[in-house]
Amino acid sequence: MFTLSKTTAAGKELRTCVVDTLVELMDENNQLVALDADLGSASGWTTIANKHPQRFINMGIAEANMVGVAAGLSLTGYTPFIHTFGPFATRRVFDQLFISGGYGGNTINIYGSDPGFAVGHNGGTHTTWEDVALMRMIPQSIVCDAADEVQMAWIIKTFSQLSGIHYVRGNRKAVPMIYEKGSTFELGKGNILRPGDELLLIASGQLVSETLQVAEELAEKGISCEVIDMFTIKPIDKELILREVQGKRQVITIENHSITGGLGSAVAEVLAETGSAVPLK
C-alpha cells in the first residue's frame, strides 16, 4: 500500500538511501555481503566498509571479476549486493551476469547508478541507454527503476529476500519525493498515481516526477492524463496496462532509457501481443 508524498521536495540522496538500507540489512543478516568496483567515495559504500569490514569487498575497477566473485559467494550461501555505474553494471559484465548468474542459478543483486542522462557530464563511456534492455534478456531476472528514495529502499529490502538476478537502477543524487515513508509496493505491479481518461502516461524512475508535472500542465489545458509509475519493468504489469488503456486515445511511455528494449518496448509488446489498437509513442 502506498501513499503519495505531501511534498515534491528532494529527499535524501539515493546513494545514501541504498547505503543506509544495506547497513540496516547487514546488521540483521550476517549472510549479506557488499561488493563495490572502486567507487567507495562516489557511491558512499565506504560507510558499509566501515560498518561491516568483514563483509565488504572493494573489487577495484574489475567489474567482470566482481560479478564472478558475487556468483561464487552466492554458491557458498551468501547474498551479494554489487554496485557500479549503470554501463559497467550491465553492458560490461553481461556475459558474467548471464552465465555465472542466470545460467548458473545464482543470486546477484545489482545496483546500477546514474543511468541514462543522469551523469552526462561524465561522458559517453559512463552513460547507458541500454541497461534495462540487457537485463530483461536474462531469464527470470527482475528489473526495477526506482522513482524515489522510499521506493529504492523497499526494492533493496525486497531483493534481499529473493533468489535470482535482480537489477535496480537509479540516480546517486536526490530526486523529488513521490511516496510517503512507509509506503510498500509489489514487484510486477504498477502504481496509478493520477487518474485520467484521455492520455495514459506510463513512466519509470526519475522521470515519474516530471511526468506528474506534465500531467498537471496538460490538465490546465483541458487534457486529462492518467499517470502510472511502472517501477518494475520486468515482469511488467500486463493486467494493469490492458485495463487502463481502455478508452484512452493514446499511450505515451516516459523513461530515462532508449525506447528499444526498455519500458517503451515492454509496453508495446503487451499491446501488440493482445491486439490492443491504441496509438503508442
Q: What gap in Å lies between CA 117 and CA 136, rounded to an integer?
A: 20
Whether 130 is catalytic is no
Query: Do 213 and 193 touch, CB atoms closer than 8 A?
Result: no
DSSP type of residue 127: -
Distances from the Cα of 255 to the Cαs of 137, 180, 228, 277, in angstroms? 18, 22, 12, 22
Q: What is the DSSP string of 160-186?
A: TT--SEEEEEE-SS--B--B-TT----
Query: Helix or strand or coil: residue 101?
Result: helix
H runs (alpha helix) in the chain: 14-28, 40-43, 46-51, 63-75, 86-89, 94-96, 131-136, 149-159, 207-220, 238-244, 263-274
Backbone angles phi, psi at 254, to 5 degrees: -130, 120
Q: Which three cell numbers stand for residue 16?
A: 545514501
Q: Looking at 28, 63, 198, 210, which residue is catalytic?
A: 63
C-alpha span between 87 and 270 (Å, rounded): 27
Asked whether the beta carbons of 35 and 49 are under 8 A apart, the reply is no
Query: Please, are residues 16 and 41 in contact by the beta-carbon 8 Å criterion?
Result: no
Q: Nearest-CA neighbor of 183 among 213, 207, 148, 141?
A: 148
Active site residues: 63
